[in-house]
Amino acid sequence: MDYQTYKPHSDLASLVKFYWTLKVPFDINNKKQKIIPDGCIEMTFNLSDKIKRYTSETEFIFNPNAMVMGQRTKSFYIEPVGNVDTIAICFYPHGFANFVNVPLENLVDQETPIQDVFIEFQANQLEQSIINATSTKERIEIIETFLLNKLKEKATIENIVKTTVDTLLTTKGSIPINIILKDNLSKRRQLERHFKKQIGISPKQLSKVIRLQATLQMLINQKSETLTDIAYENEYFDQNHFIKDFKEFVGITPKEFLGNENMTLSTLFYK
């Protein structure tokens, strides 16, 4: 696997986390890979063969070649049918809302063609330009031109959402929402309403995903000796609480995750 990341233009850096590319030559021995929620929305362009997304143990659909992957509340499996050549934009949780007018809760756990998210002729033009480009540098320039032009259009994100997301990211999801809002119930209702529209999932769901990311980093990079250490360093109540949340999103326990051949891709993303 050849996985690379690239920093965004400074004018996009508060909204776009990074760009990434992935190239994997086809191998009949390649295993399907589990994708784990990360709290981010991604826009991806598939430049090679189709990719399956499993909807059950045996059933699958083919992902659109140019799509938006909304917020995830559960893990899922993918499997390429041939060579993989993908470029993607990874947005911060609050970032993507600045470029679209559709409620992001409509995109949750979905792979949505970009034609359903942006004006159709603009989406078609963007997809074709990405396909015709001859280098990653050129593709990133095309993407950034598109995004910067979108920022000139009228789109806003509520400050209460941005502030909450910033706090969750800074604390790695370990701080309860009621503490962020100082037990202000009316403010919490307002936050829930705007969060669903502009992030796609609830503050509590996003908090759990962000905390999961921190634990995955420690687990994969072996930054703590035991699961108990990881649990307490990420402010879970205890090891059982950590394992329960981990299994909710990943589908297996932390011990089962390490060395699992279906987790090769996810492990690569967190190293």
The pLDDT assigned to 50 comes to: 94
The pLDDT assigned to 23 comes to: 95
Contact 91, 41 (CB under 8 A): yes
Please provide the CATH number assigned to the domain covering 2-151.
2.60.120.10
Contact 86, 21 (CB under 8 A): yes
The pLDDT assigned to 267 comes to: 74
**Phi and psi of 36, rounded to 5°?**
-105, 140
How far apart, in whole angstroms, are the C-alpha atoms of residue 1 and residue 269?
11
Q: pLDDT under 70 in the chain at which residues?
A: 154-157, 159, 183-187, 223-225, 270-271
pTM for the structure as a whole: 0.80
How far apart, in whole angstroms, are the C-alpha atoms of residue 105 and residue 141?
29
Sign of the dihedral defined by the CA atoms of residues 89, 91, 97, 102, in that order: positive
How far apart, in whole angstroms, are the C-alpha atoms of residue 29 and residue 10?
41
How far apart, in whole angstroms, are the C-alpha atoms of residue 68 and residue 45?
9
How far apart, in whole angstroms, are the C-alpha atoms of residue 130 and residue 136?
9
Whose CA is closest to 197, among 94, 119, 116?
94
Structural domain spans, the chain: 2-151
Looking up tokens 């320039």 gives 141
Q: How many CA atoms lie within 13 A of 253 on its CB side?
A: 7
Whose CA is closest to 51, among 60, 59, 38?
60
- Tokens standing for residue 222: 């072996």
Q: Is 10 exposed, middle or buried (0-12, 13-18, 19+ CB in 10 A)?
A: exposed
The pLDDT assigned to 108 comes to: 94
